[in-house]
Amino acid sequence: MTYKGYTASIEVDVDAGILFGRILDIKDVITFKARTIDEARQEFQNSVDEYLAFCEELGEEPDKPFSGKLPFRTTPENHRRIFIAAKKAGKSINSWMDEVLTNAAKKVTNI
């Protein structure tokens, strides 16, 4: 689910009989729970609105989700190598870099 640029994941807690949600891609921890999908959607939206209002009360900027844009600088020689590697893989530079960097990050973070 997405709302105001924030994305949530939802898990089922079978023992408790609830849906448990968490907002992704920000440092602050925002969670919510519900018994139905419609209720989870509403609780997610309420949690985002409450978080934004709380940040405003404190005079702080709310944590923003990652944009998906990652500036990248390299040398001309490495740019050429990256281009050739991407072409050999049959991919654009962006999709090749996304795959390579994501695989490397998974190995380091184990997530």
With helix as H, strand as E and coil as C, how does 51-105 read?
HHHHHHHHCCCCCCCCCCCCCCCCCHHHHHHHHHHHHHCCCCHHHHHHHHHHHHH
- Residue 68 to residue 48: CA distance in whole angstroms: 20
Of 20-24, 35-39, 83-87, 107-111, the range with the lowest mean pLDDT is 107-111
pLDDT in the model for residue 109: 87
Output the pLDDT for position 42.
98
What is the rounded average pLDDT of the residues 3-8?
Answer: 93
CA angle 96, 101, 106 (to 5 degrees): 130
Q: What confidence category does residue 6 fall into, taking pLDDT thresholds of 50, 70 and 90? A: very high
Per-residue model confidence as pLDDT tens digits over 46-105: 999 999 999 999 999 999 887 777 888 999 999 999 999 999 999 999 999 999 999 999
Its pTM stands at: 0.62
